[in-house]
Amino acid sequence: MFLSVGLFSSCEEDKDVTVVPHVSFENDRVFGFDPEATTATHEIKVYATKASGSDRVYSLVANDELTTLAPSDYTLPATVTIPANTREGSFSVTVKSSGLGKVLAIDFVDADFADGTFKGDAPLLLTAKVVCPTNDVVLELILDQYGQETVWELYEGANVIETGGPYTQGAAGVTQPKKEFSFCLPDGDYTFVMYDLYGDGMCCTSGNGSFLLRNVGTGKILASGGTFTESLEFPFSFPE
C-alpha cells in the first residue's frame, strides 16, 4: 500500500494520511490440478486500495520473460473489471495438464495506469501443480547398498494398489540417494508393508537405509523404520 503523509506543525496535531490509488493481484500461489484432470480453472482476485464511482477495466497480459507455459496451454482473458463502488474484481484462468510444473506470469498493461493509479510492482506467478483433493501421502525411501533386496507394497483392504522394488545395488557400504513416491488416497483402510528379501533389513551394516510414510496434510507418520528382519507391516486409515 502506498501512503502519502502530510506535514504537521505541532506534536498535538494529527497526521494527515492519504491513501494513494493502487491496484494489485492476489499473492503468488499454486494453480492446483486434481490428479486425473486434464484442465483446471481458477478464479483470480484483483484488489484496489480505493473504490470508484464507475467500473474500472484493466488489461491483462502474460509476462513473456517469466511465463514458461506455452500459449496453447492456458486461457487468459484480455481484461479484468473492478465494479463501481467496490475494491475487488476477479477473472478466471484455465490451464491444461500439459503445462504441469510450469509457470504463468500475469501482468497489467502499463497504459491503463496513466491516471495516476499505481499498479503492483511484480506480476502474479501461478505454478501449475497436481494437488491431492483427499489424503496426500508421501513415501520417503533411502536404500542401503543392497537395493535389490528392498520391496514395498501398499494395500487398500486386501488389494495391492501400489508397489515398488526391487531396486538396484549400490556401492559397497554406501547409503543410496533418497527416493520419493506420492499417493493420493481416498478415505479407507490401508496397510503398508516393507520387505527385505535377504531378511536383514535396510540398516545398518551396509548403509543406513530407512523408510518413512507420512500424511502430507497433517504431518502424521504412518509407517517408518529401517532395522528389521524380513518385513514390517503398518495398518492405517483415513479419516485418521
Assess whether pLDDT exceeds 50 at residue 4.
Answer: no
Share of the chain above pLDDT 90, in %: 78
Q: Is the CB of residue 85 less than 8 Å from the CB of residue 55?
A: no
Give the tens place of pLDDT for each residue, 47-69.
Answer: 999 999 999 999 999 999 999 99
Nearest to 25 by CA among 127, 122, 110, 129: 122
Give the tens place of pLDDT for each residue, 143-178.
Answer: 999 999 999 999 999 999 999 999 999 888 888 999
Domain annotation covers residue 233: yes
In this predicted structure, what is the pLDDT of residue 16? Answer: 57
Q: Are residues 24 and 94 in the same domain?
A: yes
Q: Are residues 122 and 186 in the same domain?
A: no
Domain annotation covers residue 5: no
pLDDT level of residue 92 (50, 70, 90 thresholds): very high
Domain annotation covers residue 58: yes
Domain annotation covers residue 6: no
Instruction: Look up the pTM and report it.
Output: 0.64
